[in-house]
Amino acid sequence: MAEISYSHCSLLLECPKCQVINYMDPFSFWNFSGKIKCAGCDSIYAVGFTNGQRVKGPDAAQGPHDRLPGYAQSKDFKTDYKTPDKVSLPTYARPPDQKHGPTYKNVRGKPVSAGKLTTADLVGSRPRFILEGKPYQPPK
């Protein structure tokens, strides 16, 4: 198999020591300057990204690191790193143990996923005039 170098790729950091490919997920590293830790050998590198382009590094640095890569794997794709001490957890819209928003019980006592809106829920929304009993006036 031909040996591929990822050293020119901006958001893929190929570790100069252990050749593990560290994936800098675009959400966290699009505009970032600081230190990251290689998932393969725990080396610290100083890097800088601007608009997804690497502008600095990787330069060897001393810990502690600022961020972990989103994912990492070896060059032969046989070893991957998924544990929280090696790679960062994904960002969640709500805590991972919370499956959905608040539930309510309907008149038969069965749980339902949505309840009646209160006046406070509609603050700033157009149908608020219904609750307030005022006819809608378009803004002038």
Residues near Zn ion, by CB under 5 A: 15, 17-18, 20, 38, 40-41, 43
Which CB sits closer to Zn ion, 43 or 49? 43
Nearer to Zn ion, 8 or 116 (CB): 8
The least CB distance from residue 41 to Zn ion, in Å, is: 3
Query: CA triplet 41, 82, 39: central angle to 5 degrees?
Result: 15
How many C-beta atoms surround the C-beta of residue 37 within 10 A? 23
CB 85, min distance to Zn ion, A: 14
Q: How far is the CB of 17 from Zn ion (least distance, A)?
A: 5
With contact defined as beta carbons under 8 Å apart, do 19 and 75 qualify? yes
Q: Which is nearer to Zn ion, 41 or 117 (CB)?
A: 41
Q: Which amino acid is at 112?
A: V
Smallest gap from Cβ 27 to Zn ion, in A, equals 23
Distance CA 15, CA 23 (A): 11
Half-sphere exposure of 1 (CA within 13 A, CB side): 6
